[in-house]
Amino acid sequence: MVPPAHADIRFVVRAEDNGTRLDKILAHNAPEISRARLQALVKAGACQAARNATTDTIKDPAWRVKPDDEIVLRVPPPQETRVTGQAMPLDILHEDAHLIVLNKPAGLVVHPAPGNRDKTLVNALIAHCGDTLSGIGGEKRPGIVHRLDKDTSGVMVAAKTDAAHLSLSEQFAAHGRDGRMRRSYQALVWGTPLPGVGKVEAAIARAPNNRKKMAVSKHESARHAVTHYQARESFIGGQVSHVACHLETGRTHQIRVHMAHIGHPVLGDGVYGAGMKSRTRHLDDAATAALTALERQALHAQLLGFEHPATGEAMTFEASLPDDLARLLTALENTR
């Protein structure tokens, strides 16, 4: 049974662990707490070690333990979040004691932030999950381990325990390289990507002239980013394409930035596809009306697969295109 996140961690160092770093042995004895959180607690003076009848406070995560050291790490209870719960309808695809999977609608912000202080997914999860929320990081809050942009719809997962939060965070950090996680998106983009199946590998950083935008960059702060795409079908003589995208990394606005970088921005994207407004002249009245009604980027997180943190079971969840995107796709299909 996993101990609660605020229970003190107590153990005696075994002979075979002689010379092990303090943070490493703490992580072994408290797998439900992230190593970063353990290191922060040690640096804050929360760890004591008794050796040869002398007890000292250890503040160095790299301190080496010796056999028979008695280690005590005092883990404070989670701080109550200042975000209040707000009952909101949620499209729940799966829920158990460890996690919740839902289909996020377009227009819903994930985290409270300036300009969106309430009515976010976090507010909704606090109201729905109550005291079962993850306390990882020292704050009692829903275990958000990844995000979707406000105007991107689709499948999301949130953790309800510290152990689930840690496992899911590790899976997202691995970006599917270990075979546990899969993420697929559906998008409608301007033009037809050539080749029809390809990979965009271009690092992403904050745009230097607009901190709210991301951009392909060679700056030292840029983070490695890879998006795989496959063009499914084209419409209006190749003016618009339906594309499937698979993430190898998960950077902010990654698909939107990468598709714009190769000259095929997502339809309705006012941030990265603003220069494509003239292309709407190629659409017929029905498609133009559907695109105008969309009022967002034509991007949907269709599939999310991961390993269940508690059972190890491979789980896959899908969300069909929402009505606004389905109407736009139908209108484009009728132009053929």
Which residues have a catalytic role annotated?
A: 149
Ramachandran angles phi, psi of 5, nearest 5°: -65, -20
The burial of 185, by beta-carbon neighbours within 10 Å (0-12 exposed, 13-18 middle, 19 or more buried), is given as buried
**Full strand arrangement of the beta sheet holding 47-51:** 9-12, 70-73, 47-51, 54-57
Q: How far does CA 152 lie from the centroid of its chain? A: 13
Ramachandran angles phi, psi of 49, nearest 5°: -130, 130
Please give the Cα distance from 159 to 161 (Å, whole number): 6
Query: Is-contact 203 217, C-beta < 8 A?
Result: yes
Joined together, the tokens standing for residue 38 give 């353990």
